[in-house]
């Protein structure tokens, strides 16, 4: 206890690793030494290995499966087929969108790469040999690879397993004010129209999916090590599918080599490995290969848009209409809040002051792997913002107003918050015009426009693209957001040991966001305990409090808020202990970072560490020992970060190759916990956005074959290709978040693609080109230049040229 007459100097929050400290990532200490613990590092005694046989065709009826030759291979222990799964009611499983998905195909295959059988053997090589020995007789059926084919009168019925399914529609959904939107269009001076396709893309984490299932017959407990971003949700799903009691299931998600949404769903490989362990009574490991990951797991995007913008001649937007048609593949397996059939697509135009809007959406089944995964975005927000900014770009050109000025005219003003968006969301804070202005100054906007005009006279093609976005993060408040009926809150459990060190467990699961680094910074901010004295544990359902996992930028907005609230509960108890130690009433105790003191005598005080020791050794009468708390945080609203991005490019008219000259990013993510981590998140997100716009090509031919199932076709950018990023910041604290943070992990991937496309389209404006679908490969750009027309990338593609 402090007894000196001099008041101790207050703690320096930056020095103890609190908010605003660019603390180096703690987890990197083991990662850079090769000491991470990934799924393939898990080795259990007596472990067997599983390999999955996948369909080579996109659509076909299964006439027979002969597994006899597989069983003849020494070392093969078990072969599992859909028929065997069906006898245990495991051939089909529920999806996160209230659909059903085949675990192993029984009646027919519905996409190339679908799981047909599994071989369990002594090692993975024998298991692979066993798969190659299985003989499957298919009756090929016509494949469908886009929504236009799916809605044709003679289209084959893909989901003939569903009794009530008469066509290939998997949902319809509408939102907005249709009547007033139509009235606004009738009064418009100018109506801008554009048709777009956001193509399929893939999260492609460095580590593919995998699991190690271990069923202990003696105890009846099932332990599964799994590549999961949401282990508690997976445990609930396994309990439903496998009909095991939830308390006898333990899901452990160790270090993840990236996720980006790819590791949210429950994949057939997980379920089959669990059954294999139950049947063999031995641990069974399944490690997905790269082609299996690219061809069958969690695609993102694949949405078509017809967009219209109604305007006055002065550029003021009166209303917008959006019609989206989405390709969901063979099963409707989107991971998203239950009530929103097309995710949060209606978050479009949230940053713009638009009176009316209407969104009409329809989804189709096709013979492709399930799509719709929230690839580094908050449930289709990437598509929403891409469509928004491509519509804004076209509208500005059609009304004849400069791109930046058109946005300034229509952006929500600072004094208009809280703002009700045209689709019904409530945004709470922002400085949108300031972000736009900071970006314009950084890129040298006016000078570039002058340089662009001069360059065009000499035959050079320069372009400048702008993209803004505000992304709804932290889904969500329990009034509106659930997945399979489970409300989308999150949790944190903080335990301060008697020596003042602490352990923090959350219901989130890091896969590169840096939770082990930033969560302690929140605790340091709330309690004054140095961040280095706090350890973080996540991903084990036997020890972590129940949470919905990490995706859709839920970390800081929801789990981070839970951390702050748990720390405040600890501080409230510590305050009572401090009053006891200082022999004053609780009302006479004041708090400063890391220390309580007597209001009238600031020199008399006790540290949080001294309170922690007293919680175990000298607590007040009637108080429970210990200093710990658990918080389940139900956010009152979404958080709304904002970004304004500026990209300049030059195109070689002889080849169609385009190069990024400069890229300026201005992000307002509210209070910044760790600037170093935030900069890494933004740079990583921009790199993914650049890859989508420039080089990542996954599509399908007329036979339903996946083009881009390897890293020779589906390219990942290296340091050589990736442009430099110029980062700037504006800070507008979120008024309802405990520490004022808004989240940032996905913003760059959400806003980035439109900036690149708008820049290329801006460069080609003299040619009358309004759109080139991503990826803007050189041949597509060259085609646009030579034909002076838009270029679509929608499947199917020809493979004979």
- Strand 135-140: give its sheet, edge to edge: 108-109, 60-66, 135-140
Is 591 exposed, middle or buried, given 0-12, 13-18 or 19+ CB atoms closer than 10 A? middle
- Find the catalytic residue in 23, 200, 301, 376: 376
3-class SS letters over 377-408: CCCCHHHHHHHHHHHHHHHHHHHCCCHHHHHH
Q: Which pair of tokens denotes residue 265?
A: 């769903």
Token pair 């945004």 in the structure block, residue: 427
Closest by alpha carbon to 65, among 109, 117, 128, 22?
A: 117
Whether the CB-CB separation of 716 and 691 falls below 8 Å is answered with yes
Q: Which pair of tokens denotes residue 199?
A: 């193509």
Token pair 């990542």 in the structure block, residue: 696
- Find the catalytic residue in 170, 377, 611, 747: 377
Is 471 exposed, middle or buried, given 0-12, 13-18 or 19+ CB atoms closer than 10 A? buried
Closest by alpha carbon to 363, among 343, 346, 393?
A: 343
DSSP string for residues in 774-791: SS--HHHHHHHHHHTS-B
Instruction: Decide if 729 is catalytic.
Output: no
Token pair 């939102």 in the structure block, residue: 175
Angstrom distances, CA of residue 762 to CA of 22, 397, 651: 38, 9, 11
Q: Please state, in angstroms and rounded to a whole number, the distance separating the CA atoms of residues 288 and 134.
A: 19
Q: Please state, in angstroms and rounded to a whole number, the distance separating the CA atoms of residues 14 and 524.
A: 10
Whether the CB-CB separation of 296 and 261 falls below 8 Å is answered with no
- Find the catalytic residue in 101, 149, 229, 388: 229
Instruction: Decide if 647 is catalytic.
Output: no
- Find the catalytic residue in 13, 493, 516, 746: 746
Instruction: Decide if 746 is catalytic.
Output: yes
Closest by alpha carbon to 303, among 177, 447, 147?
A: 147
Centroid of chain to Cα 263: 10
3-state SS class at 545: coil
Instruction: Decide if 454 is catalytic.
Output: no
Q: Please state, in angstroms and rounded to a whole number, the distance separating the CA atoms of residues 27 and 39.
A: 17
Looking at the annotation, which residues are catalytic? 229, 376-377, 746
């Amino acid at each position: 206890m402090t007894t000196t007459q001099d008041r101790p100097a207050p703690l320096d929050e930056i020095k103890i690793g609190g908010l605003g400290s660019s603390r180096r990532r703690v987890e990197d200490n083991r990662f850079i030494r090769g000491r991470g613990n990934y799924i393939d590092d898990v080795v259990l005694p007596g472990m067997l290995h599983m390999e999955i046989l996948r369909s080579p065709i996109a659509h076909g009826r299964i006439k027979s499966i002969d597994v006899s030759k597989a069983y003849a291979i020494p070392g093969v222990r078990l072969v599992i087929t859909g028929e065997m799964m069906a006898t245990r009611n495991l051939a089909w499983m529920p999806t996160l969108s209230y659909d059903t998905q085949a675990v192993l195909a029984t009646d027919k295959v519905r996409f190339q790469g679908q799981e047909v059988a599994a071989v369990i053997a002594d090692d993975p090589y024998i298991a692979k040999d066993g798969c190659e020995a299985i003989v499957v007789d298919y009756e090929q059926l016509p494949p469908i690879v886009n929504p236009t084919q799916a809605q044709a009168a003679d289209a084959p019925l893909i989901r003939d397993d569903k009794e009530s399914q008469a066509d290939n529609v998997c949902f319809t959904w509408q939102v907005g004010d249709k009547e007033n939107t139509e009235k606004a269009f009738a009064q418009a001076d100018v109506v801008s129209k554009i048709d777009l396709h956001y193509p399929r893309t893939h999260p492609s984490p460095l580590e593919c999916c995998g699991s190690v299932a271990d069923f202990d017959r003696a105890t009846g407990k099932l332990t599964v090590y799994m590549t999961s971003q949401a282990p508690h949700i997976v445990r609930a799903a396994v309990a439903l599918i496998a009909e095991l009691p939830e308390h006898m299931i333990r899901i452990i998600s160790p270090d993840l080599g990236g996720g980006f949404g790819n590791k949210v769903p429950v994949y057939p490989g997980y379920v089959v490995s669990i059954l294999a362990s139950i049947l063999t009574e031995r641990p069974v490991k399944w490690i997905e290969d790269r082609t299996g990951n690219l061809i069958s797991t969690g695609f993102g995007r694949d949405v078509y848009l017809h967009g219209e913008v109604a305007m006055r001649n002065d550029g003021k937007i009166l209303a917008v209409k959006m019609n989206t048609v989405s390709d969901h593949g063979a099963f409707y397996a989107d991971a998203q809040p239950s009530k929103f059939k097309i995710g949060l697509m209606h978050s479009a135009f949230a940053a713009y002051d638009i009176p009316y809007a209407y969104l009409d959406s329809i989804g189709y089944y096709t013979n492709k792997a399930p799509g719709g995964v929230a690839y580094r975005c908050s449930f289709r927000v990437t598509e929403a913002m891409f469509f928004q900014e491509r519509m804004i770009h076209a509208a500005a050109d059609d009304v004849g107003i400069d791109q930046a000025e058109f946005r300034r005219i229509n952006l929500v003003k600072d004094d208009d918050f809280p703002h009700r968006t045209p689709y019904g969301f409530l945004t709470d804070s922002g400085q949108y015009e300031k972000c736009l202005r900071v970006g314009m100054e950084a890129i040298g906007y006016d000078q570039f426009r002058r340089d662009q005009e001069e360059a065009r006279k000499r035959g050079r093609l320069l372009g400048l693209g702008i993209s803004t976005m505000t992304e709804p993060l932290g889904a969500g408040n329990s009034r509106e957001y659930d997945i399979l009926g489970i409300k989308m809150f999150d949790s944190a459990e903080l335990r301060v040991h008697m020596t003042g060190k602490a352990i923090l467990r959350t219901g989130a699961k890091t896969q590169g966001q840096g939770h082990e680094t930033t969560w302690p910074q929140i605790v340091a901010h709330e309690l004054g305990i140095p961040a280095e004295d706090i350890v973080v544990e996540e991903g084990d359902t036997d020890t972590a409090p129940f949470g919905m996992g990490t995706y859709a930028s839920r970390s800081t907005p929801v789990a981070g808020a839970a951390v702050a609230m748990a720390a405040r509960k600890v501080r409230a108890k510590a305050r009572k202990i401090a009053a006891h130690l200082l022999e004053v009433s609780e009302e006479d105790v004041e708090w400063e970072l890391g220390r309580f003191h007597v209001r009238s005598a600031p020199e008399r005080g006790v540290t949080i560490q001294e309170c922690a020791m007293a919680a175990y050794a000298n607590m007040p009468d009637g108080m429970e020992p210990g200093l710990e708390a658990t918080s389940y945080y139900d956010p009152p609203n979404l958080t709304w970060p904002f970004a304004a991005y500026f990209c300049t490019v030059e195109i070689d008219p002889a080849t169609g190759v385009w190069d990024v000259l400069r890229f300026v990013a201005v992000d307002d993510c509210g209070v910044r916990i760790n600037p170093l981590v935030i900069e890494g998140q933004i740079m990583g997100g921009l790199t993914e956005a650049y890859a989508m716009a420039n080089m990542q090509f996954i599509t399908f031919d007329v036979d339903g074959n996946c083009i881009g199932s390897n890293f020779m076709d589906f390219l990942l950018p290296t340091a050589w290709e990736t442009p430099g990023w110029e980062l700037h910041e504006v800070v507008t604290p979120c008024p309802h978040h405990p520490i004022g943070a808004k989240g940032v992990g996905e913003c760059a991937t959400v806003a980035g693609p439109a900036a690149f496309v708008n820049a290329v389209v801006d460069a080609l404006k003299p040619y009358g080109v309004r759109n080139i679908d991503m990826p803007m490969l050189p041949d597509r750009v060259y085609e646009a230049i030579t034909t002076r027309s838009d270029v679509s990338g929608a499947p199917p593609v020809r493979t004979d040229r």
